Amino acid sequence: MQLSMWSYPWDIQDLGLERTVADLRGRAGLNTVSLATSYHAGRFLQPRSRERKVYFPEDGTVYFRTTPSLWDGKEIVPLVARNVEDGGDTLADLVRARDAGGMAVSCWTVCLHNTRLGMLHPSHVTRNAFGNPNYYNLCPSSPAARDYVVTLIADVTRHYKPDRIELESPNFMGFAHEFHHEKDGVGLSAADDFLMSLCFCDHCRARAKAAGVDAEAARATVRGFIAEMCEREIPVRRFPDFPAAGIDTFRAYPALHDYLVWRTEPVTSLVAAIRAAADPMSRIVLIDLKDGWLGGVDLAAVGRVCDGAILCCYGMPPDEVTALISAGRQTLGPGKYLGAGYRVFYPEVPSAGDLAARAAAAVAAGADGINFYNYGLIPAKRLDWVRRAVDALPAT
Q: Environment class of residue 158 by beta-carbon count within 10 Å: exposed (0-12), middle (13-18) or buried (19+)?
A: middle
Torsion of CA 358, 360, 363, 365, to 10 degrees: -70
In angstroms, rounded to a whole number, what is the distance separating the alpha carbons of residues 178 and 396? 38
Q: How many CB atoms lie within 10 A of CB 45?
A: 11
Q: How many CB atoms lie within 10 A of CB 27?
A: 15
In angstroms, rounded to a whole number, what is the distance separating the alpha carbons of residues 184 and 224? 19
Q: Tell me if the domain spanning 2-172+267-391 has CATH number 1.10.3720.10.
A: no
Q: How many CB atoms lie within 10 A of CB 15?
A: 20
Tell me the pLDDT of the chain (396 aa) as tens digits: 999 999 999 999 999 999 999 999 999 999 999 999 999 999 999 999 988 899 999 999 999 999 999 999 999 999 999 999 999 999 999 999 999 999 999 999 999 999 999 999 999 999 999 999 999 999 999 999 999 999 999 999 999 999 999 999 999 999 987 677 888 889 999 999 999 999 999 999 999 999 999 999 999 999 999 999 999 999 888 999 999 999 999 999 999 999 999 999 999 999 999 999 999 999 999 999 999 999 999 999 999 999 999 999 999 999 999 999 999 999 999 999 999 999 999 999 999 999 999 999 999 999 999 999 999 999 999 999 999 999 999 875
Strands 32-39 and 44-45, how do they pair? unpaired
Residues of the chain with CATH 3.20.20.80: 2-172+267-391
**CB-based contacts of 183: which residues, under 8 Å, 6+ apart?**
none
